[in-house]
Each structure stands twice: as C-alpha cells, then as structure tokens.
Amino acid sequence: MRIRIQIQRVAAIARLSAVDIVRQPVFLLFVVTCTSLTTLLPLLLVHQFGEEGKMVRDSALAFHFIFGLAVTSFAAGTTLAREVALGTAATVLSKPVSRDAFFLAKFLGIAAVAIVFSICQSMATHISHVVALASRHHRYLLAAPLIPALGLCVAGLINYTTRRPFVSSAFLCTAGALAIAFGGLAFAHSAAMEWRLIPANALIAAALVVLSGILISLSTRLRIVPATAIGTALLFVGLVSDFAVGRFADSSIFAYLLYVMIPNWQHFWVTDGLSGGGVVPWSYVGQVVVYAALYLAGTLSLGIIAFRFADAA
C-alpha cells in the first residue's frame, strides 16, 4: 500500500511537471519552429546529392536532435532549477515526498515532454519526406508547411471564443494537425511513406531522454545556463568520442575511462545506415535502448545523490 501511494505521488508530480512545461510559450516556440522548418525543407533544399529525399531526411533528423536539446534544456531548467531557486521545491519537499521521489518525478515529466516532442517531430519528418518524393506529381503537397500555422489559427479561434489558454491549446492543435496530415498522407500516398524512418526517430528520442537525465542531474547544482552549456558540450564531444578518445582506449586507461564516461551519441545517429535504401534493424534499436537505460541509471543515481545534499530552500 505504501509503495502504491508513493508511485501515485511520483506520477502526480511528473504529470504536473509535464503540463507546466507544455504551458510555457518557449516550449510552443520550439515545437512550432522545429516542425515548421522541417515541413519547409522540401521547398528549401533542391539538390538531391545522388539520392532523392536524402538531404530532407538528414536535415529533419538533425532538427530533431538540435531542437530536442533546446527543449530538454529548457524543461530541466523550468522544472527543477527554477523551483529550487524560487523555493517551491522546498514547499513540496515539506510534504510526505522524499527527495529521491521528487527528483525522479521531475525527470519523468521531462522525459515525457521529450517523447511527445519526438512524436510531433517524427510526424513532421515523415510529412516532409513524402512531400519531397511525391510533390512533383501532386502539387497540393507543397501546402504542407501550412500545417503548423493551421494549428495556431485553430488555437487562436478557440482562445477567442472560449478564453481557454492559448499556449496549451496551440500545442494540442499543432500536434493534432500534424497527426491528421500524417494519417492522410499514409492513406493517400502509402507508397511514398518511409517507415524505416521510425527506428531512426526512436533512437533520437532515446538520446533526448538520456540528455534529459544528464541535464536534470546538472540542474541540481547549476543554473540553467551553465547546465545547458555543459550538456551542449557533452553532446558535441560525444558525437566525436570515437575519433577523439575511442582510438586511444586500448592503449591508455585514462582514455578508456573517459571513453566510457562520455555518452557516445553516434549510437543514436544512424543517418548513414539509411543511405541507399538502408534499414536500421529493430534489434540494433533494442541494443541502443539497453545502453541508454544503463547510462541513464548511472546518471540519475549521481543526480539523486547530488539532490540529496542540495539546498532546496
């Protein structure tokens, strides 16, 4: 019974954290900007570089990664660092909620937001790729960049008529517009759908969850700006860790330990595997998810220890 009550408390804090992030105008700005730029890619990129749709696909996945870093950084600073600075965390911790449960609940809220963002961006990636492949024969597909704008217009109408909050309504309407467009394209242009993009987007979503764990652990001791700076540095260092550190791992114990400690983001970035009609096997996705889970467990353990001795007042 006690465990069940604790789980309910964690779930409630996580849900409130996720809702609070979604209601922030900055989060809406990131989602709308990312999905709008993604749907605009077929109109902006005219060179194929040997494979039709490759530039659009790779650019959309890059947007997913970079804007995902911005979303998780903002979410970590909003849910933990800001609450600690304002003293609201101390109010919650004065209730029968342990620091460990509070920290894990905040991480789950951020992870949920990162996954929702990834779902929206995955739909935008598929829409953009279909437009890049089929717009020559179906000119009406060039209206795809209007999808996020349509969601904002509907949210504005809802806000005007019902006085409901614009930001949360705009996010739901934008996500709904993307879902309707994605479903319509899957039905009308099933031959142009690239379902092999799903594993690639799933891997990036897993990377964003790991980034969420790193950033919220850093937020226990740092403000949002230095935490984001360190998280960004870890992202770029992890992308080149195979070349910068991995080649010395066999000959140096220091290089080996550094190589193990730095997250290897190349495991999550599989655009080369999609070239030439390649497919990323789900078995590989499973292996990377296990790696992400183990790395995340270690990161969150360090974050819990840091938060236990942090000043939440």
Q: Say which residue, 107 or 222, is predicted with more confidence.
A: 107
pLDDT band per the 50, 70, 90 thresholds, residue 137? low
What is the pTM (predicted TM-score) of this model?
0.89
pLDDT band per the 50, 70, 90 thresholds, residue 313? very low
The tens digit of pLDDT for each residue in 47-79 reads 666 667 788 888 899 999 999 988 988 888 777
Q: Mean pLDDT check: name the lowest of 22-26, 228-232, 288-292.
A: 228-232
Task: Kindly report the three-state secondary structure assignment for every residue of 41-54.
Answer: HHHHCCCCCCCCCH
Q: What is the pLDDT of residue 85?
A: 60
Q: What is the pLDDT of residue 135?
A: 67
Other Cβ atoms closer than 10 A to 84: 20
CA distance 131 to 181: 11
For the residues 27-51, what does the mean pLDDT come to? 82
Q: Tell me the range of 27-41, 232-246, 267-281 where mean pLDDT is highest.
A: 27-41
Residue type, 284: Y
Q: What is the pLDDT of residue 272?
A: 82
